[in-house]
Amino acid sequence: MLFSPNRLLRLASSRIFALLLPLAFAVPLASWAQGRADALLQFEGVQARYQASYEPGAVARGARELLDPDDLAIAGKALKALDAASGRAFNVKASMAAIRQEVASAGTGGAAPSPQVLAAVSRFAKLRSDYNAMSEAGKAEFFNRERARPADPARTELLERMSVAEVREIDFSSQLLMSAVVKQLARGNGGQLSGLPDSTLDMALDTLWSRGVTSTRPRNLMIVAREFEKQVTQALIAALPDADVAALLAWRNDPQAAAEREALVGTYRAEVKGSGGVALRTLVRRWPKS
């Protein structure tokens, strides 16, 4: 049976339409998921947190903060070596892209953030930015004023839906591990680490991450760090209008929210752990054996 040119054109057009139709729906869905991810990362302040902890120079500064005065006095060379190793190992742009992608995948199928949510996220991000730019006296005044307000259930629940405490714990764990290795190098115990085969060194670092912080003093410091992060965030939430809190809470209680939060924390941890492992292996392998 012969087809007329017009019929052939109609058949071809219908087949092309059938192929393109799924893509037409997939693009908005992908766009919605990406929009949700971008809004969540802005709401949680993820990029600013990651940059503050892992941009060039930040890892060595963090390790320095946890060293005892005696160790700090002899750790200059080790801290300098850590700075060089971490500067090559951590890539803020790549890590943020990985975190954003995982959060977007977890949010696929969810509704795009409403204009009200986006406006509330923007106001909350500005509050955080303004707070971070304050002097210590200004921060104390803001904190005391906002924390003096009676806590209400909506604001308390919104804080519970956030990942700030878990992310702070990840950063502190990395900071503690870096300072522990620097301490051993500064005390002349680098040979105990550099003599380990790669597989054993990797296993040791992985065990430290899996075991977590068990010593009393570091554990207490971690509890304080987590609690302080929550208290500051609670003060920021207290400064938001009620309408913003309601919009944000509804957004963080929708069906995709829990999976997005889990993806954020899990990928943040994986990025910190992976890049930190590379930095420490580089540090140990390049440290003089004598």
d(C-alpha 194, C-alpha 286), whole Å: 8
Query: In this predicted model, what pLDDT tens digit does every residue of 9-26 receive, in sequence order?
Result: 444 445 544 444 444 444
Closest-CA residue to 160 (of 258, 42, 51): 258
61 found inside a domain: yes
Give yes or no for a contact between 164 and 48, defined as CB atoms under 8 angstroms apart.
Answer: no
228 found inside a domain: yes
Q: How far is CA 245 from the centre of its chain?
A: 22
Q: Count CB neighbours of 276 within 10 A.
A: 25
220 found inside a domain: yes
1 found inside a domain: no
Q: Mean pLDDT across the stretch 136-150?
A: 94
71 found inside a domain: yes
Cα 253 to Cα 113, 158, 258, 259, distances in angstroms: 12, 9, 8, 11
Query: In this predicted model, what pLDDT tens digit does every residue of 229-272 receive, in sequence order?
Result: 999 999 999 999 999 999 999 999 999 999 999 999 999 999 99
∠ CA 84-89-90 to the nearest 5 degrees? 105
**Predicted local distance difference test score (pLDDT) of residue 213:** 66
24 found inside a domain: no
Cα 106 to Cα 80, 136, 181, distances in angstroms: 39, 38, 35
CA atoms within 13 A on the CB side of 35: 16
7 found inside a domain: no
Both structure tokens of 186 = 């500064």
pLDDT band at 33 (very low <50, low <70, confident <90, very high): low
- Give residue 175's domain range: 36-286
Most confidently predicted of 13-17, 24-28, 40-44, 189-193: 40-44
pLDDT band at 111 (very low <50, low <70, confident <90, very high): confident
DSSP calls for 273-288: HHHHHHHHHHHHHHS-
d(C-alpha 187, C-alpha 189), whole Å: 6
Query: In this predicted model, what pLDDT tens digit does every residue of 54-100 receive, in sequence order?
Result: 999 999 999 999 999 999 999 999 999 999 999 999 999 999 999 99
Query: In this predicted model, what pLDDT tens digit does every residue of 152-190 receive, in sequence order?
Result: 999 999 999 999 999 999 999 999 999 989 998 999 888
94 found inside a domain: yes
- Extract the runs of DSSP E, i.e. beta strands, from 81-203: none
Q: Give the global pTM.
A: 0.86
DSSP calls for 196-246: S-HHHHHHHHHHHHHH---SHHHHHHHHHHHHHHHHHHHHHHHTS-HHHHH
Residue for token digits 């955080």? Answer: 128
Give yes or no for a contact between 221 and 109, defined as CB atoms under 8 angstroms apart.
Answer: no
Task: Look at the chain and report how many structural domains it folds into.
Answer: 1
Amino acid at 126: K
∠ CA 281-282-284 to the nearest 5 degrees? 65
d(C-alpha 204, C-alpha 193), whole Å: 10
Cα 19 to Cα 11, 12, 178, distances in angstroms: 12, 11, 52
